[in-house]
Amino acid sequence: MVSNSHSQQRPSSHPDNTPPFQFLKLPAEIRNMIYSLLVVSSNLIYITTPTRKPRKKLNALDPAPEENKFRNRYILFANKQTYQEARVLLYSLNTFAVGNGWWGSTIHPNLHGLKLFTQRVPNDCISRIKKAVLFLLSEPIYNPANATQKEYFMDPTAAKSITEVCTILRTRFKGLDHFEIQSAEGPGSSSHVLFARPWVFDIRAPQNLISNSIEKVLRVLSIKEVEFLRGPDLTEAEWVRFRSFIFNENTLRDFEVKDG
């Protein structure tokens, strides 16, 4: 009698001889779908100053800060072909955030981070960026007459940063076709987060300097649609004031303005 104890094969602990799957033999459409799952994020990619801790070579071309890592950006470094194909989607389908945060901030988009970004990212990648958000950060101050009431101001240095950021957008982000402007609380906040707030402008801030810089970005890049994010705390009068600070009425007629 033959025992059947050996007729049931046990799972082998050794890998089988199945040949490796050839990813690059997939149709380009399928590869792009996979790339999108790996390198496209629903969150904004903040262009901030990199952290001071040593970074591995793998992270050198990664534009996202630590809290916004992609699911698996390692596909970029599999080989030259996957890098060339995946980076097209990385830069063309993500939304990048720039702004006038404190110089060197690793949290808020700022001019220093943007300059480093344009130095280390190839021009052909930057020109593929289609969507950008401009954060206009203001500093919170407290009204002595009402300790519970916050007001916000933008000093001339922060305003000047916006003009330089806009110059970089105008000259380097040549593929930009969607532009959003958001008011946000600056680095002086202990919460260290970006969110819309009531907007009170310092009379020292050169209004024309900011509005002219933003208008140049829109006209040079032929952007016709502008979206403003309205914070929940803004009254209608404050909202009108915010928009008029960015654009005068004559300029607003030339663009389609949406309230986010």
Tens-place pLDDT, residues 184-214: 654 444 333 333 344 444 444 556 778 888 8
Say whether 105 sits in a helix, a strand or coil.
coil
Please give the Cα distance from 57 to 62 (Å, whole number).
10
- How large is the average pLDDT for residues 151-174? 84
- Encoded tokens for 75: 């596909």
More reliable by pLDDT, 142 or 253 = 253
Work out the pLDDT band at 108, boundaries 50, 70, 90.
confident
More reliable by pLDDT, 89 or 149 = 89
Mean pLDDT score across all residues of the chain: 74
Is 0.95 topped by the overall pTM? no
Q: Are 232 and 175 in contact (CB under 8 A)?
A: no
Give residue 156's pLDDT.
72
Per-residue pLDDT for 61 more than 90? no
Helical H segments across the chain, by residue range: 28-39, 80-93, 111-120, 123-126, 156-172, 207-220, 236-246, 249-252
Residues contacting 199, CB < 8 A, separation 6+? 138, 152, 183, 231, 234, 238, 241, 242, 245
Give residue 52's pLDDT.
72
